[in-house]
Structure 1
């Protein structure tokens, strides 16, 4: 990933899968910590994780990907956006942040 970040001088937005992962499926989906690392290597300004929070086919709870990507994104060089389904985002607005909407949802 680092080579792409260098070659294209970073990206304004990277949309990366962040869910339906399992240690037994290393070639299917990245773990949230790998997503965070990849976004940084891509020199992303903003990371929008997708493929989580809708239904579970993996052996983790539906909200675990949000919790793990939030933790893994602490002190990274990019902005993390985790909008609730249907929420609008402004790619150019570096001040926009996402609430932890999944907290308290059953």
Structure 2
């Protein structure tokens, strides 16, 4: 079937060298196919645009949300797990897929802290959470048991 991609706002910065800061934009994405609608947060700090995206698109089946590489000094570019959950609620998604964690050591937190924190919040707030292993393939619409796979790797 047809797939529609829509670039939507995010809050970050761009640049790879000393002299190219913010010469390109960054984005989040909406992916629509048939009756499925997915939100991909991309690299982003928390901002009011998440609520606007949720309102504009009427909610999502799945939200792939940034959840890692955060620091108190970087609130405009990466979200703490609590902010990721807030953004998830803002976009009005049904299932939270945690991403952007555990693979690259950018921040001072442990590699498993983002997963621990978001899993605890999800359990407390009754959020349907998916924390796939790195490289794991997940099929939309196929139920899966969410396990805390990282706890045995510390």
Deviation at 1:80, TM superposition (A): 0.8
Residue 91, structure 1, aligned to residue 140, structure 2: yes
How many residue pairs are counted as aligned between the two chains? 105
Distance (whole Å) between structure 2 residues aligned to residue 97 and residue 80 of structure 1: 10
TM-score, scaled relative to structure 1: 0.87
Counterpart contact for 1:17–1:30, Cα < 8 Å: yes
Secondary structure of 2:105's counterpart equals: coil
Unmatched 5+ residue regions in structure 2? 1-49
Q: Which residue of 1 aligns with 2:148?
A: 100
Unmatched 5+ residue regions in structure 1? none
Secondary structure of 2:150's counterpart equals: coil
Q: Which residue of 1 aligns with 2:68?
A: 19
Residue 64, structure 1, aligned to residue 109, structure 2: no
Superimposed CA distance per residue, residues 20-72 of structure 1 (whole angstroms, 9 cap, x where no aligned partner): 10011111201000001110121111111211111311010000000011112
Asked which structure has the greater CA Rg, the reply is 2
TM-score, scaled relative to structure 2: 0.62
